[in-house]
Amino acid sequence: MPDNNELIAEGLRAFASLKRGNKRAFASWLAVGEGLSAGKRLLMERLQLNDLHISGTGQKAYTLWLRESGYVTVPPEARVALSKITNPEHLLQVKKWYGALSEKQKLRWNHPTTIWQNWQRHIGSKVRERTALVAMTRDSHGNITSRVAEKIDSIHLDDYVRLVMRVIRFLAKRSCREEGDIMQLVQDSLKEEIKQKAA
């Protein structure tokens, strides 16, 4: 089996071919996904972490690696879908399903997001139509505003945890406090809210 560095390089070559209009899109996208997974494995080994997304250090290291490696040019929605597709729990089943599609379907469904959505429909997962928070920004008056997606294929707790962590980092920076202090304020506020509901 190729080592992580070889997988990373192969993924970048595959993405370059996709940008040139490669017709073997699914195989190339899988190579991109394997390259991203290899990068995560290298970072987890280096930082001695089990998951890059649950620590600020891991998240920062991954963001930096994306920039330094060139994988930052892979669209974020494609990276998310590829992490699901290349997950060992799903990969063989998705490949088998995709291999049985007609050539016409393969041409239509050649982007990771589309592949994942159609795979989810195939196995009977419902596509959720409800709104979901996907981003928060500040308006010209300094107030936090939110952007919602009207239609999403799934809601993952990890995505929201990362979003909350970004807000906590933002608040810590703006208030010149430690992230831990902000998290403690959130916990205290939640405890107070629970007490009030119980009363």
Tens digit of each residue's pLDDT (9 = 90 or more) over 160-188:
677 777 788 878 887 888 888 888 888 88
The Cα angle at residue 51 between residues 179 and 97, in degrees rounded to 5: 135
Ramachandran category for residue 141: left, alpha or beta (phi over 0 → left; psi -120 to 50 → alpha):
alpha
Report the amino acid identity of residue 163: L
Beta bridge partners of 72: none
Cα–Cα dist 53/67, whole Å: 17
**pLDDT per position as a tens digit, 22-76:** 666 899 999 999 999 999 999 888 888 887 777 778 888 889 999 999 999 999 9
Report whether 28 contacts 15 (CB < 8 A).
Answer: yes
Report whether 182 contacts 175 (CB < 8 A).
Answer: yes
Q: Sketch the domain layout of the chain as residue ranges.
A: 4-122, 132-198
To the question of pTM greater than 0.75 for the whole model, the response is no
Give the position of tokens 């962590």: 165
Nearest to 135 by CA among 145, 121, 126, 124: 145
